[in-house]
Structures are given as C-alpha cells and as structure tokens.
A and B are shown apart, each in its own frame.
Chain A
Amino acid sequence: TQLLEQSPQFLSIQEGENLTVYCNSSSVFSSLQWYRQEPGEGPVLLVTVVTGGEVKKLKRLTFQFGDARKDSSLHITAAQPGDTGLYLCAGGDEEYGNKLVFGAGTILRVKS
C-alpha cells in the first residue's frame, strides 16, 4: 500500500514568514500534486509535478519533486493570511496514475 507522510500536521506562523511543507513516501509516484482546501470546499489543485527533480513556481509558492519521485516539498515565501488553509499532497499511483494517494494534510494558519 502506498502511503504519503506529510509534515508538519499544523503550522501557525506570522505574516511575512517563510515555511516549508514536506511530503514523503517509500513508494515511487508517477506524479505529485499539491492541493489547497478551505473549510466547506473541495480541494483545489495548485500544481502537478511529474519529473524527478522538477521545480515549479507559482507566485510565492515553490514546489519540488524529489529526484527519485518519492517525495515533494512546498515552500511558501512571505506567507500572507490568505494562504491559510489545508494543504494536501497527492501522489499518482505508479501503476495506475488515476488513483491518487493523499497525505494527511498540513493545516496552515498565517496570522496578521
């Protein structure tokens, strides 16, 4: 069974600080996606990375896929209160990419 361990579980920081969320597994994934979910809503896709070592930037968010395609990180620079939410990583099954394995999530709170 493929598992994704996400850390930290909770993060409370001040506006302007930087943070990194990690997503680790012993399994290889065909792709890695990051989602953000707000209360009462479904997860919203932020990015998909597919190549080992790939780095993608989305404004203040930087996403990296590990060389071996087993881990990923999300780095937020100068966090803002609007970044508050639940961040989820999800790995595409190596054999069948349609099946996404989700991490438990990181609850981020950015205080102003």
Chain B
Amino acid sequence: DSGVTQTPKHLITATGQRVTLRCSPRSGDLSVYWYQQSLDQGLQFLIQYYNGEERAKGNILERFSAQQFPDLHSELNLSSLELGDSALYFCASSVSTIAPGNTIYFGEGSWLTVV
C-alpha cells in the first residue's frame, strides 16, 4: 500500500460524457502528479500540482483539467470523452519535487473505459 488513494478504481462511461477522478496523496506529501497509462502510449505525464498550484504540465489534453484543493487532495476532470481516452489513470505524490532520495509514490490507478 503506497498510501496514495484513488477513486473510483473502475469506471465505465459513454463517449461525450464527463468524469472526475479523485486522489488523496500520502500524508505529508505536497506534490500530486497525474499520469495516463495506455497500451499504445505507455505511461505519460499529464500534470503536477504542488501545494495547490500547478507546477508542471505534460501531454494533457485541453478537454482534461485538474486541481489540487487546500486539503491537498486532487481531482482530474475528463470531459467530452472519446474512445481513445480509455486508459489507466494514476495519481502519484511526493513530499516536494522529484529529487534524489525524494520518492514518488503511485496509487493503484483508476481504470477508465469509454464505450
């Protein structure tokens, strides 16, 4: 158990719909990261928040958005869903930024299936 909690674990939804994935980081961790893992693209960095503020952005689509709340939990909002958005979405957390000795912990992921 990494200490990072993600909900829901599985989600099936139709194209065009909107879903919200939720993440609670490890106690004490200020940084939250979102990653997408699919068979064809592998594991891809989407976005990072640090203590409520966006810190880094990766290959995140405009239809996707995220935020980190004052209690440090984070949500990833996916809208106008397409079949290609079906993937495993991971949340990860770390104390601060990624640095030697600063481990990043991944949650178990949220499986999203768009039908």
Contact B56 A45 (CB under 8 A): no
Contact B106 A43 (CB under 8 A): yes
Nearest CB of chain A from residue B11's CB, rounded to whole Å: 15
Q: Does any Cβ of B come within 8 Å of A44's Cβ? A: yes
Near A by CB (< 8 A), chain B positions 7-51 give 31, 33, 42-45, 48
Q: Does any Cβ of B come within 8 Å of A112's Cβ? A: no
Near A by CB (< 8 A), chain B positions 67-85 give none
B interface with A by C-beta (< 8 Å):
2, 4, 31, 33, 42-45, 48, 55-56, 58, 90, 92, 97-101, 103-109
Nearest CB of chain A from residue B63's CB, rounded to whole Å: 20
Contact B100 A50 (CB under 8 A): yes
Nearest CB of chain A from residue B17's CB, rounded to whole Å: 25
Nearest CB of chain B from residue A48's CB, rounded to whole Å: 6
Contact B45 A42 (CB under 8 A): no
Q: Which residues of B contact A99 (CB under 8 A)?
A: 45, 48, 56, 58
Nearest CB of chain B from residue A56's CB, rounded to whole Å: 11
Contact B45 A44 (CB under 8 A): no
Near B by CB (< 8 A), chain A positions 74-112 give 88, 90, 92, 96-105
Q: Which residues of A contact B33 (CB under 8 A)?
A: 98
Nearest CB of chain B from residue A47's CB, rounded to whole Å: 10
Partner of A92, one of B48, B98, B105: B98
Kindly list 8 other residue pairs between chains A and B, CB separation below 8 angstroms, not including A43-B43, A97-B97.
Answer: A42-B106, A42-B108, A42-B109, A43-B90, A43-B106, A100-B104, A101-B45, A102-B43
Partner of B56, one of A31, A43, A98: A98
Near B by CB (< 8 A), chain A positions 21-67 give 31, 33, 40-45, 48, 50
Per the bound structure, the CA–CA distance linking A98 and B31 in Å amounts to 10
Contact B104 A45 (CB under 8 A): yes
Contact A96 B90 (CB under 8 A): no
Contact A40 B43 (CB under 8 A): no
Q: Which residues of B contact A45 (CB under 8 A)?
A: 103-105
